[in-house]
Amino acid sequence: MCDVESLTKIFKEFDTDSSGQIDIKELKGMVKVYFETIGIQADAAMIKDTVYDLLKNLDDDGDGTISLDEWLQLAKDNKN
């Protein structure tokens, strides 16, 4: 289970421009690292599909980025 502190740390690591938002470019990097970590060689299409699935599920306000509040919703959802 993920806690708020851990999720905030992960968010800040992937918010490489410190904008307070994870944009598509940053999200692609995050997805690529995730696939590499679990040993999956993902092609560009797989990464793109995963990014858009994440945006669909996490981008509540539809602005094309993931804010810290949207990201932290993961912790709330995992507690239920």
Model confidence at 3, pLDDT cuts 50, 70, 90, reads confident
Q: What pLDDT is attached to residue 7?
A: 87
pTM: 0.81
Pair 50, 31: CB distance under 8 Å: yes
Domains of the chain, CATH where assigned: 4-79 (1.10.238.10)
Mention every residue, 6+ apart, whose C-beta is less than 8 A from residue 23: 17, 64, 65
Q: What pLDDT is attached to residue 2?
A: 66
For the chain, what is the mean pLDDT? 90
pLDDT tens by residue, 60-78: 999 999 999 999 987 677 6
Q: Does residue 41 sit in helix, strand or coil?
A: coil
